[in-house]
Structure 1
Amino acid sequence: MNWQDYIVSDKEVLLGKPIIKGTRISVELILELLANGWSERQLLESYPALSIDSLRAVFSYLKDCIQLELYGDVPA
């Protein structure tokens, strides 16, 4: 999957946070909702601009961030 087809960053939108292309839905929001127990179905129903592919792109983006070590230290 090419996450760049779905995720962009624009300093004029949400202070440059990564967002789903064409929306103001941030990667951070999607992860927060998933961490709080939301299902894929709930996300797709609540945010019609999202697609299964855009949700998959979030995980592909995170995988690349981890591989590039674009993350902070995790306290023990």
Structure 2
Amino acid sequence: MTTTQLPIHSDPEIMGGTPVFVGTRVPAQTLLDYLESGDTLDAFLSDFPSVTREQAIATLDAGTALLVAQVARR
């Protein structure tokens, strides 16, 4: 079995426990805020170069999977 590291984590010692991208102090919510306001993924990555494209995409994929699973349970 392969263990996949989550692209975000929460640590009370980093930004008071706000979920951030692993290895950064960039809140995961910032990615969602960018996309919600109409900015592109590339704009987000340009403004936050410590976040990798792989981390951002994995975060969006995980969110999508959770949403689909929740709807499927209804």
Query: Could you say whether these structures have the same fold, taking a TM-score greater than 0.5 normalized by the shorter chain as the test?
Result: yes
User: Would the aligned equivalents of 1:9 and 1:16 in 2 still touch at CA under 8 Å?
Assistant: yes
For the 8 Å contact 1:7–1:18, the answer to whether it is kept is yes
Deviations 1:5-57 (A, max 9, x none): x2111011122121101111111111111101110111111111111111112
Q: Which residue of 2 aligns with 1:15?
A: 16
Normalised to the residue count of structure 2, the TM-score between the two structures is 0.72
TM-score norm. by structure 1 comes to 0.70
How many residues are aligned here? 67
Q: 1: distance between equivalents of 2:65 and 2:16? A: 21
Segments ≥4 residues shifted beyond 6 Å? none
If you compute each CA radius of gyration, which structure gives the higher value, 1 or 2? 2
Q: How does 1:1-76 map to 2 (within 5 A)?
A: 2=4, 4=6, 6-63=7-64, 65-66=66-67, 67=69
The alignment yields a C-alpha RMSD, in angstroms, of 2.1
Q: Which runs of 5+ in 2 are unaligned?
A: none
Partner amino acid, structure 2, of 1:34? L
- Quick one: higher RCO (CA 8 Å, sep 6+), 1 or 2? 1
- Measured at CA, do residues 20 and 56 of structure 1 come closer, stay the same or move farther in structure 2, by a change above 3 Å? same
Unmatched 5+ stretches in structure 1: 69-76
Tell me how far 1:60 sits from its aligned partner. Answer: 3.0
